[in-house]
Amino acid sequence: MNTIILIFIIFLAGAILTFLASNIKGLLKEVLFLASVIVPVVMFFTGVKAGDSFNFHLAGFAFQWEITPLGYLFALIVTGLGVMAAIYAVSAMQKTKNLGLFYFNFILSIMSMLGILFSRDLVSFFIFWEIMTWSSYLMVVYQGKDVQKVGIKYFIFSAIGAYAMLMAIVMVYSLTGSMMIDKMIQSYAGFAFNMQIIIPILFLIGFGVKSAMMPLHVWAPGAYSHSPMAFTSLFSGALSKMGIYGMVIVMAGMIAYFPEGHWFRIVIAWLGGITAVGGTLWAIAQDDAKKLLAYSSVAQLGYIIVGVGIGTPLAMLAALFMAVMHALFKGTLFMAVGAIEKQTGTSNFTEVTGLIRKMPLTFLASLMGIIALAGIPPLGGFVGKWMLYESLIGSDHYLLVIVIFFSSTAAFLYCYKFLFGFFLGQEEKEWEHVKEAPVLMVIPMIILAGGTFLLGTFPGLVIKPISAGLEQLGYAATQGKYWEMSMLFNEWGDQVVLEPILYAIIAVFAFFLVFLLIKNHKNTRYVSTKDISTSGEVPKEHENLTFIQNFFQPFLRAVEPLMKRQIDFYYNGFGKGIEALFDFTRRIYTGNGQTYALYAIIFVVIFLLLKTTLFGI
């Protein structure tokens, strides 16, 4: 039997079996859950390679599933993060009600994501897309909080995206008579001009919703923060990347023959840039870690959209590398928030402080995640940022590079807020009992954080498959021109050599750490955070001096004009307008027979007056 179909069958059967086993006591459901995630993933890594395919016919459509190099790259994100999140979930979701539903949706969303990546025809692409939307929707409303507000918002936007995509698919079918993605890409150049514009826009609305592109992002902060954190790491890390995958196909496949600097590309890139700035500024203003990371995800996907929008080889490399990195570090960070929430019962910075000595491993993972997020060398985030800047400068997008730089510098603010809010500051009696998270939750975090470290020095490990994926889309080979295993180049041949940088950093760090600690280490004693000098006054035991309320108030004051209006405001206005319109329509039905008779007469009169113009009678 073909391995591809076997993978899907195991996913599906595993999901159903886990669901059925959810009421049985003991570890059966956990074992089943882990098995039905890990077994297909192992099969994926051992049994299939790029180029494998599976074809069948059903209901008059030809279905084709094939593992393309690009799909393989994204499948690495999905399977890698999926396994880590699954291991984490088993420990994180203990003692939760309705566990069966959670496991069921979890497995289905991994399956549907792989399905999207393997589909080479639009029908199965769309079906898997809908399964993904539904399973993630059920996760968003899983905890039952604010279902009306958050769940409906996510659902409406997903529906808008899905209809837009469906419309595009139907148009493509009517124009080409085929549902194959390859066929669509090939014949795109022959479409009429209006179709050349409308079809990509409809597709991009569909993909833009999932990847939370401005102005379609409003569902994201709520949905990310309301799902269980075990799923959010996958939601933000992998599921949103499906939108990016679709965008890559549209931007690099369909409109590939639009030259660089075409207005269509620039509009998409600027949308990404605005998304990045808006997401960053709103992330700084949040006091809840989940919301902060959710807005940060919106911002990070903005960078990726910029890269995809620009579409030069270096920009594409940057975007896809950032997609992988984002999955790694945002997975880590959401898991860390989940761990803190589980141990303390809150994810609000203003409530919990000073966890660094209680949860040191979570702190370590978060620290690495944050350094990668901020893009500071020697961790992997830097590589993506570097390539993005170089590609923007090299392709003459001067203002966009400033916008991106602003956003990524401002990101330091919320990065520090995340670490300081949870881990640093004064230690409080209230949180003295807190212990490190269970080992099954810590291990996935550390592994993912370690991934960011490895890729910071040897980015070639991931750029190699990315490059293969781009070659499939028709780009020239980039190895040696833009990258080597541990080197990066820009358009003008300037380089960054990563390996010696890492060694230099480690050497200097180790030297000064030894310098600081030698002779001193044993004679120093630990003093609590109450034992500090605050202008000569020692704070009392009950005094909490932690500075966390209005943390970045001066900065937010400085950028106030940029944050005056939220896009929500306009959507709400639009919604109210539509409501008023419907209200007006309702009044047509007065319930009075005389009025209806009048309508009939008016209709006949209009018909008679306009019959020549309308029907030519």
Partner 1 sequence: MELFLNILGAIATVILAFIVGMSYGGIVRKITARVQNRKGPPWYQNFIDAYKLYSKTTAIHHGWMHRMGPAFLMVSSVVTLMFVPVLNNGGWFENMNFQGDLIFLLYIMVFGSLGMALGAGQTGNPNSAIGVTRGLSQMVGFEIPWVMALVAMMIQYKTTSITGFIEVQQESGTWLMFSSPFAFIAAVLAMLGMFRYSPFDIVGAPSELASGPVSENGGKYLFTMMSSGSIFTFAKLTLYVDLFMGGANNLLVLLIKTFALYMVPVLYGLVSPRYRTEQAVRYFWGWPLFFGLLAIIYAVIF
Q: Provide the minimum distance between the beta carbon of 413 and partner 1 in the complex, in angstroms, as a whole number.
A: 5
Binding pattern for the stretch 425-444 against partner 1, x by CB under 8 A and - elsewhere: xxx-----------------
Binding pattern for the stretch 552-571 against partner 1, x by CB under 8 A and - elsewhere: x-xx-xxx------------
Q: Provide the minimum distance between the beta carbon of 337 and partner 1 in the complex, in angstroms, as a whole number.
A: 18
Give the range of 168-176, 260-268, 471-479, 489-497 binding partner 1 by CB under 8 A.
489-497
Using CB under 8 A, pick the residue from 547, 596, 599, 607 that binds partner 1: 547
Binding pattern for the stretch 69-108 against partner 1, x by CB under 8 A and - elsewhere: ----------------------------------------
Using CB under 8 A, pick the residue from 46, 194, 533, 594 that binds partner 1: 533
> Is residue 527 near partner 1 by the rule CB under 8 A?
yes
Q: Provide the minimum distance between the beta carbon of 395 and partner 1 in the complex, in angstroms, as a whole number.
A: 11
Contact 450, 461 (CB under 8 A): no
Distance between CA atoms of residues 212 and 218, nearest Å: 8
> Is residue 517 near partner 1 by the rule CB under 8 A?
yes
> Is residue 264 near partner 1 by the rule CB under 8 A?
no
Task: Give one DSSP letter per residue of 378-391, joined into a string.
Answer: TSTHHHHHHHHHHH
Touching partner 1, residues 389-408 (CB under 8 A): 389-390, 393, 396, 398-399, 401-402, 405-406
Residue 500 or 577 having the CB closest to partner 1: 500
> Is residue 412 near partner 1 by the rule CB under 8 A?
yes
Distance between CA atoms of residues 303 and 416, nearest Å: 20
> Is residue 520 near partner 1 by the rule CB under 8 A?
yes
Distance between CA atoms of residues 75 and 394, nearest Å: 30
Q: What burial class does residue 53 get, using C-beta atoms within 10 Å of its C-beta: 0-12 exposed, 13-18 middle, 19+ buried?
A: middle
Rg from Cα positions in the chain: 27
- 236: which DSSP letter? I
Residue 34 or 455 having the CB closest to partner 1: 455
Using CB under 8 A, pick the residue from 500, 573, 575, 577 that binds partner 1: 500
Q: HSE, CB side, 13 Å, CA atoms: give it for residue 292.
A: 25
> Is residue 525 near partner 1 by the rule CB under 8 A?
yes
- Name the residue type at position 365: A
| H or E element that contains 61 | strand 61-66
Task: Give one DSSP letter per residue of 447-507, joined into a string.
Answer: HHHHHHHHHHH-THHHHHHHHHHHHHTTPPP-BTTTEETTEEE-TTS-EEEHHHHHHHHHH
> Is residue 410 near partner 1 by the rule CB under 8 A?
yes
> Is residue 538 near partner 1 by the rule CB under 8 A?
no
> Is residue 530 near partner 1 by the rule CB under 8 A?
yes
Q: How far apart are the first and last CA of the chain?
A: 65
Using CB under 8 A, pick the residue from 142, 235, 483, 551 that binds partner 1: 551
Residue 497 or 605 having the CB closest to partner 1: 497
Distance between CA atoms of residues 106 and 315, nearest Å: 32
Residue 125 or 382 having the CB closest to partner 1: 382
In order of 250, 265, 267, 275, 399, the CA distances from 262 in angstroms are 15, 5, 9, 20, 16
Q: Which of 435, 432, 416, 437 is nearest to 555 (CA)?
A: 416
Give the range of 34-42, 65-73, 187-195, 420-428 binding partner 1 by CB under 8 A.
420-428
Contact 365, 332 (CB under 8 A): yes
> Is residue 409 near partner 1 by the rule CB under 8 A?
yes
Touching partner 1, residues 14-73 (CB under 8 A): none
Touching partner 1, residues 325-384 (CB under 8 A): 354, 356-357, 367, 371, 374-377, 382
> Is residue 524 near partner 1 by the rule CB under 8 A?
yes
- Which residues does residue 56 pair with via DSSP β-bridges, in sequence order? 63
Q: Provide the minimum distance between the beta carbon of 9 and partner 1 in the complex, in angstroms, as a whole number.
A: 47
Q: Which of 117, 206, 197 is nearest to 167 (CA)?
A: 206
> Is residue 508 near partner 1 by the rule CB under 8 A?
yes
Residue 543 or 568 having the CB closest to partner 1: 543
Total of chain residues touching partner 1, rule CB under 8 A: 78
Q: Kindly give, in sequence order, each residue whose CB lies less than 8 Å from that of residue 601, ignoring residues fewer than 6 positions away.
A: none
Residue 5 or 517 having the CB closest to partner 1: 517
Give the range of 136-144, 342-350, 411-419, 565-573 binding partner 1 by CB under 8 A.
411-419
In order of 26, 33, 96, the CA distances from 23 in angstroms are 9, 13, 12
> Is residue 446 near partner 1 by the rule CB under 8 A?
no
Contact 41, 27 (CB under 8 A): no
